[in-house]
Amino acid sequence: MERKALFYIEGKEVQHIGCRLTVTRELIRAGFTKGGAFNLPDGRVEVVLEGDEDRIKYMHKEVRENLVNWLEQGAVDRKTLKRRMGNPHPSLTVTDLEFKEDLLVLDIGLFSHSLTFDQIYKGVDVYKELIGVIKNLNDTLKGKSG
């Protein structure tokens, strides 16, 4: 029977360290087709899942036991990551699992683009710069043709 559940990742600093990307990747690896991880305004990360109850419990256990290792393995700058998480003891906490059948759980494919683009927000500045270059080129070409 399909169930819906959620849990939270809390701590000193859990946003902008790769939690959403890492958890989404692991959900996909585990075969989930519905679920995702989301930054909340209060600084926590919310993880929602839909699937077989035993698989949900197993995934929750995996995140609770392995999240810090997964984050460290994927970190470009481990020193900064450790400082942000808390060093030497990471302050990340994975809350207990809550089953809530009224949750809206979206298709995980909607969030997997961040895996492909390694969190697309990192490219926004590049796009802004590119738009500026195109605008300047356009202005230059207009000046030469007038």
Mean pLDDT of the chain: 81
Q: Is the pLDDT of residue 137 over 80?
A: no
pLDDT for 75-95, tens place per residue?
777 888 787 877 766 788 999
Which residues, in sequence order, are CB contacts of 114 under 8 Å at separation 6+? Answer: 20, 21, 24, 120
36 - beta bridge partners?
Answer: 48
The pLDDT-based confidence of 52 (bands split at 50, 70, 90) is very high
Could you tell me if 63 and 46 are in contact, meaning their C-beta atoms sit under 8 angstroms apart?
no
pLDDT over 70 percentage in the chain = 74
Q: Is the pLDDT of residue 45 over 90?
A: yes
Residue 96 φ/ψ, nearest 5 degrees:
-65, 155
Q: How much is the pLDDT for 119?
A: 46
